[in-house]
A and B are shown apart, each in its own frame.
Chain A
Amino acid sequence: MLVHTAFGRAEQVARHWSAAGCPIVIHADKNVPKKTYTGFVKALSDLPNVRFSRRHRCEWGTWGLVAATQSASAVMLSDFKDVRHVYLASGSCLPLRPVQELVDYLAERPHTDFIESATTADVPWTIGGLDQERFMLRFPFSWRKNRFLFDKYVALQRKLGYRRRIPNGIVPHMGSQWWCLTRQTLSAILEDPDRSVYDQYFRKVWIPDESYFQTLSRLYSRQIESRSLTLSKFDYQGKPHIFYDDHLQLLRRSDCFVARKIWPFADKLYDAFLTDAAGAMKRTEPNPGKIDRIFAKAVERRVRGRPGLYMQSRFPVEGRENGLTCAQYSMFEGFSDLFENFGPWLARVTGTRVHGHLFAPERAEFSDGQRVMNGALSDNATLRDYNPHAFLASLIWNTRGERQCFQFGPRDTVKEIEWNIAKDPNAQISVISGAWAVPLFKSNLNFSEIRQEAARLQQIESKHLDVLRSPWAKARIRIWTMAEFIEAPMEPLQTIIDEIGKQSQHGLAEVPKMADLTGFGQFLQNLKNQGMHPYLMGDFPVEHRLHEPERGQRKPYLVR
């Protein structure tokens, strides 16, 4: 048992092993103050089957841990002749099942070594990229204390193309440092005539406690079960996950023999598992699947986070968002200008939440005229424009599970938000270009004002279309000119609705009502005559009198 802190708990666990008849050799880190150490030795002095081994300085990732294990193993093998299996544990390990069950389990498998041992090429466990290199380079500097020299020395060796020779052609293996080896295998490793050669080599290997026994046991073991009997989970930085009181049920159901690492103040866990009978579990194979999932999820959350969420501890730089928003949404440009009842129609057909112009200059036009939306999001325009991206991301986040659709157009505050939407793969953008002219056409303004406004809107939309057509735009974007669109409006509508994917299978039973466009061609011609050329809506013939062109009939203006 390797101990360096929480001696009270270590003592408790040692007594537990000892009471079950298991002899123990304890190694305490040399960094532990003398007073603490002697107190600890004294506290355990009443146990007949406890020994203490020579102390080494143990720093994470260094040879000290292996040296400590070697010394302790030697004491174990020489002092306790009956021992068949040696289990390497730490002071913060906790036996989850009655020790007798472990004893029986091992007795049934007298020649099996339980040691996780895999070649570096086959597993992606390593943190920090030093997988092959940990066996090929030298690591004389501490990673914790001398990170700078550590990194520089690695870089230097890489530059020089330095490669260490691996002695006797052994194949480096890695795995959990918590193993259970048979006397045969362990003694063979310790008594190997070439041990000094191996020791010399592993002394300068990076994190030797995860490779020394894992590699050498391959030379001697009759039968290796490449897994650890200790349940020990590591997070993305390579440090072990810690178990607390609230993991009690999980640990119970894991059926593992030993778990690590336990928080020293987790009283409930120690009480539950060290009072044998009460914590007894059924005799089954270890099954830590559920715990695996929880810890894998935690790592996933730390590394990738929840897509589309911006919050106090997740604020990704541009390009690392893993989703600018959390769900798909649709933006419609020009549709509500061209169709009189587009919003209600869309809501009926798709069953989604359909807003008006969310970025209108007066206020965010939430669906049903609401002043506040999910998440207590206010419709106040100033508040919205203060951080429009946060507004949109919040809206989509707050309404998870319900698709959002909204209208957009050149009358809205376009500039601050258009890039955010265009770059967002979650956005479905459908544009009828030039449709902003319809409300002007219907309006009762003076023509000079109309002309001015038309020029302004055309300019905004033209720039906006440039954004949508830029190579950085990642949204699903469809753009029709107005002339193109009214020629066969149902087809594009069907495509859009299909993509939203919520409507019934029979096609569109109901059609939105298109605005009456009689005289629209003339209106555009008038604008032209005033020197303002509206081009975004495509070609409209002046004489065209039918506001809704009949389908299947070729239009005269398409004939060149």
Chain B
Amino acid sequence: MSIAQSYIMRLRRKRHQARAFRKQFSLREVVNRTAKIRGGDILLFSTMRDECVRLPYFLNYYRDLGVSHFLIVDNDSSDGGREYLADQPDVSVWTTKASYKGAKFGVDWLNWLQRKYGHGHWTLVVDPDEFFVYPFCDTRPIRALTDWLDTSQVRSFGAMLLDMYPKGRIDAVPYAAGQDPIEVASWFDPGNYMIEKNRKYGNLWIQGGPRSRVFFPDRPKKAPALNKTPLVRWHRKYTYISSTHMLLPRGLNLTYDEWGGEKASGILLHAKFLNTFAAKAEEELARGQHYSGSVEYKAYAENIRDNSDLWCKWSEKYINWRQLEILGLMSKGNWA
């Protein structure tokens, strides 16, 4: 990579930081408890809109893993989610009526908050329907992982998005607040993922899974990206540039080994396909606030009405992280 290219990347990073700075003005503080944050705390950042039903389980899941503080941007929820969050002792909430799309699908807001509060902390950026799974997560808290990454001098940790879905129609089993969504959507595609390297930013571009298989079989290029780097030891210079798929500086994207070995990696269980999904898809389609002209939601809405069963004979039922590691979806690397 030449000096000129490095410089272009630097400018690009600066531009994203400037965007984040600008977009902070659209955020209004609801509750700010960030004074409670202590050095070494693991922080979780998220944006959400009308996800109230998911919040109780979501917060508890991450509390159990050892997240100390949640910093959440509420994008104009009307289902009481904002108020619910404001009542939690370990949550700070900001709200905005501004465009989700205009804030690069929330990235700008979170970049700003991370820059302000995340510097020097391990930060986890996940959506309310994403559940972080890492090697030994059943016996070791996140702190064990981040301490190990620190001693290994690793700054970022990759976790592929794994789409979970129920057996039968998506809307057949209702999801109740507080319930483990993986109980409802407990199936996934174990082995149909496609990987390419993004030469520009150095990250891997992963596609596949049920969304490629069912929604995008004829335009696979349009299928959503599944590569994510949600856990980063944040520095105020860092910036996410496209959801949590890519970061700058580019070194943070190198969460994979190119010489034949395996680095440690995790999985984000993506419990998007619950009974709440159909309504959400219709609504999001109307708002047009999602990636690439909401092409994803269009494809969903078309398919979901007549053919909402993502399950097939070769779907695998989720058991635990060891299963995912054996299937080759994630790896322990040299953490033992």
The distance from the CB of B132 to the nearest CB of chain A, in whole angstroms, is 14
A373 near B: Cβ within 8 Å?
Answer: yes
User: For the complex, what is the distance from the CA of A539 to the CA of B136, rounded to whole Å?
Assistant: 64
Residue of A nearest to B328 (CB): A309
- Would you call A310 and B189 a contact (CB within 8 A)? no
For window 372-418 of A, CB contacts with B under 8 Å fall at: 372-378, 380, 382-383, 386-387, 390-391, 394, 397-398
Minimum CB–CB distance from B35 to chain A (whole Å) comes to: 22
User: Considering the complex, which residues of chain B in the window 278-328 have a beta carbon less than 8 Å from any beta carbon of chain A?
Assistant: 312-316, 328
Instruction: Pick the residue among B189, B258, B261 that contacts A375 (CB under 8 A).
Output: B189
CB of B191 within 8 A of CB of A301, answer: no
Candidates B217, B263, B314; contact of A302 at CB < 8 Å? B263
Check: A317 CB closer than 8 A to any chain B CB.
yes
Contacts of A464 in B (CB 8 A): none
State whether B148 touches A320 (Cβ < 8 A).
Answer: no
**Is A311 a contact partner of B336 (Cβ separation < 8 A)?**
no
Tell which of B143, B196, B221, B329 touches A311, judged by Cβ atoms closer than 8 Å: B329
Given A246-B140, A306-B262, A372-B314, does the pair A378, B334 have CB atoms closer than 8 Å?
no
Q: Does A473 contact B (CB under 8 A)?
A: no
**Distance in angstroms between the alpha carbons of A411 and B329 in the assembled complex:** 34
A321 partner residues in chain B, CB cutoff 8 A: 260
In chain B, residues 51-76, which have Cβ atoms closer than 8 Å to a Cβ of chain A?
none
Instruction: Let me know if B255 and A313 touch, CB within 8 A.
Output: yes
The reply to whether A398 and B190 contact each other, CB–CB distance below 8 Å, is yes
Answer yes or no: B335 CB below 8 A from chain A CBs: yes
Q: Is B2 an interface residue (CB 8 A)?
A: no
Give the A interface residue count (CB, 8 A): 51
CA distance A129 to B263 in the complex (A): 22
- Asked if A197 CB lies within 8 Å of chain B CBs, one says no
- Distance between A71 CB and nearest chain B CB, rounded to angstroms: 26
Most chain B beta-carbon contacts within 10 A, residue among A239, A314, A373, A390: A314
Residues of chain A within 8 A of B141, CB atoms compared: 265
Query: In the complex the two chains form, is B262's CB within 8 Å of A313's CB?
Result: yes
Bound-state Cα–Cα, A311 to B264, Å: 11
Q: Which of B147, B192, B220 is close to A394, meaning CB atoms less than 8 Å apart?
A: B192
| Interface residues of B, dominant DSSP | loop
B139: Cβ under 8 A from any A Cβ = yes
Q: Chain A residues near B239 (CB, 8 Å)?
A: none
Known: A312-B227, A315-B195, A376-B213. A322 touches B260 (CB 8 A): yes
Binary per-residue interface labels of chain B (136-159) against chain A in the complex, 1 for a CB within 8 Å, 0 otherwise: 100111011001100110000011
Give the contacting residue for B259; candidates A309, A317, A374, A380; CB below 8 A: A317
Q: Is B333 an interface residue (CB 8 A)?
A: yes
Question: Which residues of the partner chain A approach B213 to less than 8 Å between Cβ atoms?
Answer: 372, 376, 378, 380, 383
Residues of B contacting A394 in the complex (Cβ-Cβ under 8 angstroms): 191-193
B190, B204, B330, B334: the one within 8 Å of A376 (CB): B190
Q: Are A315 and B332 in contact (CB under 8 A)?
A: no
Contacts of B217 in A (CB 8 A): 378, 380, 382-383
Inter-chain contact B312/A376, CB cutoff 8 Å = yes
Identify which of residues 166-216 in chain B touch chain A, using a CB-to-CB cut-off of 8 Å.
189-197, 204, 206, 208, 210, 212-213
A266-307: which residues lie under 8 A (CB-CB) from chain B? 294-295, 297-299, 301-306
Our pick among B148, B193, B212, B314 for the contact of A374 (Cβ within 8 Å) is B314
Q: Which residues of A contact B (CB under 8 A)?
A: 235-237, 239, 241-242, 244-246, 263, 265, 294-295, 297-299, 301-306, 309-317, 320-322, 372-378, 380, 382-383, 386-387, 390-391, 394, 397-398
Query: 6 more A-B contacts (CB under 8 A) besides A378-B192, A380-B213, A391-B194?
Result: A298-B334, A298-B335, A311-B160, A311-B328, A313-B331, A382-B219
Residues of chain B at the chain A interface (Cβ within 8 Å): 136, 139-141, 143-144, 147-148, 151-152, 158-160, 189-197, 204, 206, 208, 210, 212-213, 217-221, 227, 255-265, 312-316, 328-336
